[in-house]
C-alpha cells in the first residue's frame, strides 16, 4: 500500500501555507507537484553534465547524451513500445498532437474524415482544425451518451465511412475523469483500417499504459503532469507510421546529409527531434518514472481510486452540489458546481481557505457546450493527496456554500 506521509516528504511545496493554512493541492490534472529527486536531477544536470547532446566527441557531451537516452530507454520499457525508435521527445502532449496532425495529416485529401470526441481538450481539436484549413478534411465528433459522462459508442460505430482516415480521442477526460474504452475504440477503428491517436495526458500519471496491448498507433503525454519537469513530452508512434511520415520541423539533429539541392533525414527517432532538445528535463524525467515505479502504478491507481470514492461519497452529500462526470470507470478528477454559484467565485473562496482547485472551461469548451454550462470547479488528485485533504475540501465547500448560493 501507499505510504503517503513518506511520499509527501519528497514534496516540500506541499508544506507551504496560504492564508494561514497548509496548502491542499487539488489541481493535479493541470500539473502535478514535483518530487525533490526530479529537481535534484535537473540541478545535477545543469551543474555537472551540461553539454549539448548528440554532437559531441567530448566525454561530457557523451555523458549528457547517455542521460537523455537512458530516459528514452526507460519510457520505451515503461509503456511497452517495441523499440526506442518509437519514442520521440516533444515539448508536451500539445506538440505531440500537432506533430501527428501536421505530419501524418500531410497525406489526407480534401473530403477525408477524421473522428474526434465531444470531450476533447482543445489540444486535440485545434491542431485538426488547422489541418482542416490546409487540407479541407472533415471533422466528425463522437457525442456524449445520455449519461453526459461517457462516449456514445453506437454513434461512434456509425461515424465511419470509406473516407474515414483517422480517429483521435483522449484516454481520460480532464474534466469528467471518464476513462474511455480506448481498447475498444482502437479495435473498432482498426476493423475499418483506420489508425488511432490516443491523448494520454490524463492517463499516464495514474495507470499503467501498454501501448502494444492497446494497439495504439500514436500515444501522447506530458511529463509535467506525471511528477516530471515542464517542457517535455512523449510522442509514441508505431514505427511503420513514423517511417512513412515527413519530418514535422527541420533543423539540426534531424538530418542525415544536407546539400542545397537535397537533404536526407536522420533515422528514427531523431527525424522528429529538430534542434537542441530539453535534454535537462528529459534526463530528469527518468527520476519521475523511478518515483512512480517505486510506489507502483497499481498502488498509485488504487490509492487514487480510494480517494475518488471517498471524496465522491462526501461531496454528493453536500446540499446543492452537482458532480459532472459520473462514469463507472473514472479517474480521480471531480468536476462540480455548487448551486448557482459561478465556478470562479467558488474557486476563489476555496483558495482563501488554502485549497488549490481549478475553475473554468478547462480547455474543453465544446464539452462545456454539450453540458450546457460555462465551466466547473475541478478537484483532481495525485498519489500524495490524503483523506484528510478530502475532509478539508468538503468542509470548506460547506463553509463557502452559504456565502455563494
Ligand atoms: N490533453 C489533455 C486531456 C489534457 O488534460 C491536457 C492538459 N490539460 C493536454 C492535452 C495538453 O497538455 P500540455 O499542455 O501538457 O501539452
**What's the rounded Cα separation, in Å, for the pair 121 and 201?**
10
Predicted local confidence at residue 269, as pLDDT: 97
Predicted local confidence at residue 71, as pLDDT: 98
> For the whole prediction, is pTM greater than 0.85?
yes
Helix, strand, or coil here: 27? strand
**What's the rounded Cα separation, in Å, for the pair 99 and 248?**
6
Predicted local confidence at residue 405, as pLDDT: 72
Predicted local confidence at residue 54, as pLDDT: 85
**Pairing outcome for strands 24-25 and 355-356:** parallel
Cα(211) to ligand 1 centroid in Å equals 19
- Burial letters for 136-149: b for 16+ Cβ neighbours within 10 Å, e otherwise? ebbebbbebbeebb
**What's the rounded Cα separation, in Å, for the pair 155 and 24?**
40
Predicted local confidence at residue 335, as pLDDT: 98
Cα(103) to ligand 1 centroid in Å equals 20
Give the mutation target among 31, 90, 93 for probing the ligand 1 site: most ligand atoms within 8 A of CB.
Answer: 93
Predicted local confidence at residue 258, as pLDDT: 96
Give the mutation target among 90, 219, 222 for probing the ligand 1 site: most ligand atoms within 8 A of CB.
Answer: 222
What's the burial of 204, exposed, middle or buried (CB within 10 Å: 0-12/13-18/19+)?
A: buried
Neighbours of 269 (CB within 10 A): 22
Predicted local confidence at residue 182, as pLDDT: 98
Q: Who's near 244: CB < 8 A, 6+ residues apart? A: none
Predicted local confidence at residue 247, as pLDDT: 96
Q: Give pLDDT tens digits for 222-279.
A: 999 999 999 999 999 999 999 999 999 999 999 999 999 999 999 999 999 999 999 9
Mark the ranges of the chain whose per-residue pLDDT is less than 50: none
Helix, strand, or coil here: 167? strand
Please report where in the chains the cell 555537472 appears, as a residue. 48
Predicted local confidence at residue 56, as pLDDT: 82
| 170 has catalytic annotation | no
Amino acid at each position: 500500500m501507499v505510504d503517503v506521509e513518506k511520499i509527501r516528504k519528497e514534496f516540500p511545496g506541499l508544506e507551504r501555507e496560504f492564508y494561514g493554512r497548509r496548502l491542499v493541492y487539488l489541481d493535479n490534472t493541470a500539473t502535478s507537484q514535483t518530487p525533490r529527486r526530479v529537481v535534484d536531477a535537473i540541478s545535477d544536470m545543469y551543474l555537472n553534465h551540461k553539454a549539448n547532446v548528440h554532437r559531441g566527441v567530448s566525454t561530457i557531451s557523451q555523458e549528457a547524451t547517455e542521460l537523455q537516452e537512458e530516459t528514452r530507454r526507460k519510457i520505451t520499457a515503461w509503456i511497452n513500445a517495441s523499440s526506442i525508435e518509437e519514442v520521440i521527445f516533444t515539448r508536451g502532449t500539445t506538440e505531440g498532437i500537432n506533430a501527428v496532425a501536421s505530419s501524418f495529416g500531410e497525406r489526407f485529401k480534401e473530403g477525408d474524415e477524421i473522428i474526434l470526441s465531444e470531450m476533447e481538450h482543445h489540444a486535440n481539436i485545434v491542431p485538426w482544425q488547422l489541418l482542416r484549413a490546409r487540407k479541407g478534411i472533415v471533422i466528425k465528433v463522437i457525442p456524449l451518451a445520455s449519461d453526459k459522462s461517457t462516449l456514445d459508442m453506437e454513434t461512434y460505430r456509425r461515424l465511419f465511412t470509406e473516407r474515414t482516415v483517422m480517429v483521435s480521442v483522449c484516454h481520460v477526460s480532464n474534466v469528467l475523469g471518464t476513462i474511455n474504452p480506448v481498447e475498444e475504440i482502437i479495435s473498432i477503428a482498426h476493423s475499418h483500417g483506420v489508425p488511432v491517436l490516443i491523448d494520454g495526458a490524463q492517463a499516464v500519471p495514474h495507470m499503467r499504459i501498454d501501448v502494444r496491448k492497446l494497439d495504439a498507433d500514436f500515444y501522447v503525454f506530458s511529463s509535467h503532469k506525471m511528477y516530471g519537469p515542464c517542457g517535455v513530452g512523449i510522442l509514441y508512434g508505431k514505427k511503420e507510421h513514423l517511417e512513412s511520415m515527413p519530418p514535422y520541423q527541420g533543423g539540426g539533429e534531424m538530418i542525415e546529409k544536407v546539400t542545397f539541392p537535397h537533404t536526407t533525414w536522420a533515422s528514427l527517432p531523431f527525424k522528429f527531434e529538430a534542434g537542441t532538445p530539453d535534454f535537462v528535463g528529459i534526463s530528469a524525467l527518468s527520476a519521475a518514472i523511478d518515483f512512480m515505479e517505486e510506489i507502483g502504478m497499481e498502488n498509485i491507481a488504487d490509492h487514487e481510486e480510494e480517494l475518488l470514492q471517498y471524496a465522491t461519497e462526501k461531496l454528493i452529500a453536500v446540499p446543492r452540489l452537482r458532480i459532472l462526470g459520473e462514469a463507472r470507470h473514472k479517474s480521480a478528477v471531480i468536476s462540480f458546481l455548487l448551486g448557482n454559484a459561478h465556478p470562479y467565485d467558488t474557486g476563489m473562496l476555496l483558495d482563501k481557505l488554502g485549497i488549490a482547485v481549478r475553475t473554468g472551461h478547462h480547455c474543453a469548451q465544446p464539452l462545456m457546450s454539450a453540458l450546457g454550462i460555462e465551466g466547473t470547479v475541478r478537484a483532481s488528485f495525485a498519489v500524495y493527496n490524503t483523506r484528510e485533504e478530502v475532509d478539508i475540501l468538503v468542509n470548506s465547500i460547506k463553509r463557502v456554500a452559504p456565502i455563494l448560493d
